Amino acid sequence: MKKSQLCPRFEEAMSILSKRWTGLIIYQLLSGKQRFCTIESAIGISGRLLSERLKDLEKQGIVKRDIFPETPVRIEYSLTEKGLALEPIMKELEKWSQTWIETEAISTSE
């Protein structure tokens, strides 16, 4: 593949957000720590992909995983400092969407 002329840090940051579901997972966790099944139903992602994304985000130091050995086991996901620092981006995107996205224009194919 061709090499870009962009700042590698910015490119890396964008590659995180431009992976499907990643942004919504982070957005969802901004409202506080929560469990796998809560995130799953809140954003409508499948277990297979949520599992994959959470592993990636943990590896990148954006998400933290805490295990509570109850029955059945409880696992809570939350944002690290690095993850929480993404809040301004989400807030700006929220603002933009409220100004520029019309509800009517959204495809309702599902």
What residues between 43 and 82 interact with DNA by CB under 7 A?
45-49, 51-52, 54-55, 65, 69, 71-76
* Residue that has been written with the tokens 């690095």 in this structure: 82
> Please, what is the minimum distance in Å from the beta carbon of residue 11 to a second copy?
7
User: Is there a contact between 57 and 63 (Cβ–Cβ < 8 Å)?
Assistant: yes
Contact call for residue 31 and a second copy (CB under 8 A):
no
Stretch that binds a second copy, among 18-26, 48-56, 71-79 (CB under 8 A): 18-26
Instruction: State how far the Cα of 13 lies from the Cα of 78, in Å rounded to an integer.
Output: 19
Q: Say if CB 67 and CB 73 are below 8 A apart.
A: yes
Q: Does 37 sit near DNA (CB under 7 A)?
A: yes
Q: From the CB of 95, what's the least distance to DNA, in Å?
A: 25
Q: Judged by CB under 8 A, does residue 37 bind a second copy?
A: no
HSE toward the beta carbon, residue 79, CA cutoff 13 A: 19
Q: Can you tell me which residue has the tokens 């929220």?
A: 94
DSSP class of 105: G
Residue 12 binding a second copy, by CB under 8 A? yes
**Amino acid at the residue 42:** A
Contact residues: DNA, CB under 7 A: 1, 19-21, 35-38, 45-49, 51-52, 54-55, 65, 69, 71-76
